[in-house]
Amino acid sequence: MSKLALITGASSGIGWAFAERLSADGYDLVIVGRRQERLEQFADSHPKTTVRTVVADLSTTEGIDAVAEICATEPVTMLVNNAGVAHYMPFAELPADKATELVNVKVLAPTMLSRAAIPGMQERGEGTIINVSGMIAFGGPAPHSQMPRRVVYGGSLAYLVAMSQTLSAELKGTGITVQVVCPGVVATEFHERQGMDLSMMPRMSAADVVTASLRGLELGETVCAPGVEDGGVLDAVFQADLAAFGAQSPELASRYR
């Protein structure tokens, strides 16, 4: 039986790179994006791969429902929740429709697509879910000078980390693997669409992000940080999280009395 991967945000960048790699690895593909011509371009350039193109806007209920239906009814081996949008601007100036779009694409869509795919994966006893987040997920404590204009975006990426870690633990022993991949700045069209010119900044390639993600799966990493050399740094973060979680008490802390 052929392996089937469904990739959102596949019309460019990391999603396109995932599609390239998984095609080479023998997967059949369902590629999802907003730009039909880009999806068709990919399909036409990979005639030896079975490619289904799905035009869907994951900022809308209709788009999420349409893709969730595919996840629920077809034997998806790997789900890559990659679609993204950022809308960098001060929180007070962020229009409600843009805030809604961001939350729908980076929070609601990965949640609902994963929810739709998991029952079938459980029945088949195997499956992989990859959520594409970013190192900004760990930037909450940073001062404004380092992390301006990214309140909702940063929060959505942090959600993907917590969701993936918790879901991974919940699904242990089912044959389903969950990973969240957290790249830094990547050389894609993503920042250009935000009106940002990062062409002079050193950036990782989308292909390297995919390489790290797939190797991270082999290593058993739930959180994959492609640009972090010392994996112990992440372990320290997670141990600190657990220490804070475990330090709670029903008694009011003395500093608040």
Flag whether pLDDT at 100 surpasses 90.
yes
What number is the average pLDDT over the span 178-195?
79
CA dist 38 and 46 (Å) reads 13
Element (H, E) at 241: helix 231-246
For the chain, count helices (H), then strands (E). Answer: 8, 7
Cβ neighbors of 237 (< 8 A, separation 6 or more) are 138
40: its two tokens: 């068709």
Flag whether pLDDT at 173 surpasses 90.
yes
Flag whether pLDDT at 192 surpasses 70.
no
What number is the average pLDDT over the span 162-189?
94
Q: Which of 25-29, 149-153, 244-248 has the lowest mean pLDDT?
A: 149-153
CB 181 within 8 A of CB 215: no
Q: What is the end-to-end Cα distance of the chain in Å, rounded?
A: 63
- Tell me the per-residue pLDDT of 219-231, one tens digit each, with 9 for 90 and over: 999 999 999 999 9
- Tell me the per-residue pLDDT of 236-256, one tens digit each, with 9 for 90 and over: 999 999 999 999 999 999 999
Q: pLDDT at position 199, please?
A: 66
DSSP line for 13-45? HHHHHHHHHHHHTT-EEEEEES-HHHHHHHHHT
What number is the average pLDDT over the span 185-212?
76
- Tell me the per-residue pLDDT of 208-221, one tens digit each, with 9 for 90 and over: 999 999 999 999 99
Q: pLDDT at position 33, please?
A: 97
Flag whether pLDDT at 188 surpasses 80.
no
Residue 19: pLDDT band (50, 70, 90) is very high
Task: Compute and round to an integer the Cα radius of gyration of the chain.
Answer: 19
Q: pLDDT at position 144, please?
A: 77
Mean pLDDT of the chain: 94
Residue 62: what residue type?
E
Q: pLDDT at position 143, please?
A: 85
Q: pLDDT at position 71, please?
A: 98
95: its two tokens: 């229009």
Residue 83: pLDDT band (50, 70, 90) is very high
Residues 2-20: b if buried by 16+ CB within 10 A, e if exposed:
ebbbbbbbbbbbbbbbbbb
Q: pLDDT at position 1, please?
A: 61
Flag whether pLDDT at 43 surpasses 90.
yes
Helices (H), 104-198: 109-124, 151-170
202 compared with 257, residue with greater pLDDT:
257
CA dist 136 and 194 (Å) reads 16
Q: pLDDT at position 187, please?
A: 77
Q: In this structure, is the dihedral angle defined by the CA atoms of residues 121, 122, 123 and 125, taken in order, positive or negative? A: positive
- Short-list 155, 149, 152, CA closest to 137: 155
Residue 229: what residue type?
E
Q: Does the pTM exceed 0.75? A: yes
* 184 phi/psi in degrees, rounded to 5: -90, -135
Between helix 13-24 and helix 36-44 the angle, nearest 10°, is: 20
CA dist 177 and 169 (Å) reads 9
What number is the average pLDDT over the span 105-129?
98
CB 223 within 8 A of CB 164: yes
Q: pLDDT at position 41, please?
A: 97
Alpha carbon separation from 58 to 37, 107, 155, 182 (Å, rounded): 17, 10, 18, 21
